[in-house]
Amino acid sequence: MKKIFGVALGILTAIGGFVDIGDLVTNALVGSRFGLALAWVVVLGVIGIILFAEMSGRVAAISGRATFDLVRERLGPRVGLANLVASMGVTLLTFIAEIGGVALAIEIATSVNEVLWVPVVAAALWIVLWRVRFAVLENVFGLLGLSLIVFAVALWKLDPDWGGLWQQVTTPRPRPGETWTAYAYYAVALFGAALTPYEVFFFSSGGVEERWTAKDLGTMRLNVFLGFPLGGLLSLAVAAVTAVVFLPVGVQVDALSQVPLPIAQGVGKIGVAIALLGFFAATFGAACETGLSVGYSIAQFFGWRWGKFVAPRQAARFHVVILLSTVLAVAVLLTTVDPVAVTEYSVVFSALALPLTYLPILVIANDPDYMGDRVNGRLANVLGSVFLVVIVVVSAAAIPLMIITRGGQ
């Protein structure tokens, strides 16, 4: 019974923890502009994150070390440094966006400007990262993040033309008035949002935090194979409600405060309240994950002690990195930069950094010195290689598309 509870809890937190500010903003914006014509990108992104999260989780369970703890040792300091700079830069940008997202969620509930909430959110976040146990942090915010199921409920209550929605899904091309370059730009952004580097940083390091062994592989795979696709369905529900309410009247989502409007239309006030709780949990949970991931990546590269499974005093440098990142995030957000704009750039730069994050996972998951007889099978390698090609193409296209479309205009 305890095992079943553990598995169910893992799957639920995987669903609730799947959506972050990048998924919320990008899916809402894409739904309002392109309907569900880019749903295939979410599906592709979910397949990719399942593939590489399983690999990085397996590495953590078998070797007892996080994937990126092994990158410098296996691939050398230069590749390790390139990996660190690219992935950590994007993770830091995402961290800033998540803190801004929490502040925006509170602003919607209070009408007090988000800039005033930023220091409060950052202080609360740092205290949580300093004091709260890893399992509590992961489970509480993951479960609260399930509130975002209200998007699926709202979709059902809006009683849309399901045939019309399906037609959008099966017509993967820009709508009249939209260009192919804008369509491609948002495809890249959605792909980057689904495969954000911190997700694998956090997943593999979290496996070490929770002391996974080979016995935990089954549970880990259930979380990944069931939790992530269901989380992906939540992302699609976000896009679908904005497609139903905003697309026909020409509203293009450009603020988080517009995202609950379809919920209000479908479910009413109670739905808005649940959605705001979901926004808060999803962004605060992701802020915890990205903050920890910044600390993980730097501490693992330099070989410092890291993690919440040791007392803060024993991992002082790891906690200093988290503290400094939090201060930096506050400083950036206090310039009054729009957190939604930071989010949009973070998902595109995430796409740019993908090869440097995902290639090392594939290499280490194939190394028998670390993995013994648990190296990748043929299917994982074929799919992983095909995905790497896709990732390289997406990465190469990210910046040119950003320039050509003037940031998706």
Partner 1 sequence: MRGRSPGSGISPWAGRCAARCGLLGVVAGAALAASGCGTPEGNVSRYQAEALGTLRAAQSSAQAVLITLDLRLSDRTFGRAADDAVTGAEGSLSSTAGTFEALQPPRGADAVREQATSLLSRAEDAVAAARIAIRRDDRTAMRAARNDLATAVDDLDHAPDALS
| Binding positions for partner 1, rule: CB under 8 A | 107-111, 245-246, 249-252, 254-255, 257-258, 260-261, 264-265, 268-269, 272-273, 276, 399, 402-403, 406-407, 409
CB of 254 to partner 1, least distance (A): 6
Q: Which residue has 């506050």 as its token pair?
A: 330
Closest to partner 1 by CB, 324 or 403 = 403
Closest to partner 1 by CB, 190 or 245 = 245
Distances (CA, A) of 84 to 89, 197, 294, 325, 365: 8, 11, 10, 15, 18
Rounded to whole angstroms, the Cα distance separating 78 from 71 reads 10
Q: What are the phi and psi torsion angles at 307 (to 5°)? A: 105, 165
CB of 403 to partner 1, least distance (A): 5
The sign one gets for the Cα dihedral 284, 289, 293, 299 is positive
Closest to partner 1 by CB, 152 or 255 = 255
Closest to partner 1 by CB, 389 or 396 = 396
**Closest residue by Cα to residue 393 from 129, 41, 116:** 41
Distances (CA, A) of 234 to 15, 23, 32, 229: 8, 9, 16, 9
Rounded to whole angstroms, the Cα distance separating 364 from 141 reads 30
CB of 361 to partner 1, least distance (A): 30
Closest to partner 1 by CB, 351 or 402 = 402
Q: Which two tokens stand for residue 333?
A: 């957000």
CB of 399 to partner 1, least distance (A): 7
CB of 202 to partner 1, least distance (A): 29
**Closest residue by Cα to residue 186 from 234, 250, 284, 253:** 253
**Closest residue by Cα to residue 223 from 26, 64, 56:** 56
**Closest residue by Cα to residue 29 from 346, 254, 188:** 254
Q: Which residue has 């894409």 as its token pair?
A: 30
Rounded to whole angstroms, the Cα distance separating 256 from 282 reads 13
End-to-end CA distance of the chain: 53
CB of 253 to partner 1, least distance (A): 8
CB of 99 to partner 1, least distance (A): 18
**Closest residue by Cα to residue 82 from 53, 303, 90, 52:** 90
Q: What is the DSSP letter of 224?
A: I
Closest to partner 1 by CB, 71 or 347 = 347
CB of 111 to partner 1, least distance (A): 4
CB of 353 to partner 1, least distance (A): 17
373-394 burial, b for 16+ CB within 10 Å, e for fewer?
ebbbeeebeebbeebbeebeeb
Closest to partner 1 by CB, 66 or 148 = 148
CB 195 within 8 A of CB 49: yes
Closest to partner 1 by CB, 255 or 328 = 255
CB of 263 to partner 1, least distance (A): 9
Closest to partner 1 by CB, 335 or 379 = 335
Largest Cα–Cα separation, the chain: 59
Closest to partner 1 by CB, 388 or 401 = 401
CB 271 within 8 A of CB 154: yes
